[in-house]
Amino acid sequence: MDAVEAILSRRSIRKYTSQPVPPELIEDLLRAATSAPSAGNEQPWHFVVIRDRKILNEIPKFHEYSRMLNEASVAVLVCGDLKEQRHEGFWIQDCSAATQNLLIAAHAKGLGAVWLGVYPIQKRIDGLRRLLGIPDHVMPLSLISIGYPAEQKPPADRYDASRIHHDHW
């Protein structure tokens, strides 16, 4: 699958088989995530790979749209390190780019994944801080639920020419 094909055919996958995802595959996804561009090449990201079934099952208790974690083999929490930011505030874009890279790589490797929003919802931030022991200077941005897909979705063509502006609005 080439890069554009992977981007165009990626969908949010929320149903998974019970097949475990091997750690080497997760490392491939993390390499894809950390290949993302970042402001001033600051790479402010940290990742928490969550495999512990008890921890995965705790998350839907404070994140109401994350029930698929009960079936997911693994989840990756993408966090931004807010300490010593040379490019104040850009951590959100940096960590979002890493999240999207990881999603596309997961799809290209035959996995199913979905981006679960964390920041800026305080209840989700606090819940993850408490559950995973995340330090105060690190902010969780997104949680990615991952497994082998048990659902298929067609590509979503969202191209809308009316949203494209040339030279002027």
Ligand X SMILES: Cc1cc2nc3c(=O)[nH]c(=O)nc-3n(C[C@H](O)[C@H](O)[C@H](O)COP(=O)(O)O)c2cc1C
Point out the residue whose Cβ comes nearest to ligand X: 117
Vertex 37, ends 153 and 120: CA angle to 5°? Answer: 70
Report in angstroms how near the CB of residue 48 gets to ligand X at its nearest.
17
State the residues that interact with ligand X by CB under 6 A.
11-12, 14, 65-66, 114-117, 156
In the complex with ligand X, the residue whose CB is nearer, 65 or 137, is: 65
Report in angstroms how near the CB of residue 84 gets to ligand X at its nearest.
26
Vertex 80, ends 24 and 129: CA angle to 5°? Answer: 90
Q: Which amino acid is at 62?
A: F
In the complex with ligand X, the residue whose CB is nearer, 3 or 167, is: 3
Report in angstroms how near the CB of residue 32 gets to ligand X at its nearest.
17
In the complex with ligand X, the residue whose CB is nearer, 41 or 122, is: 122
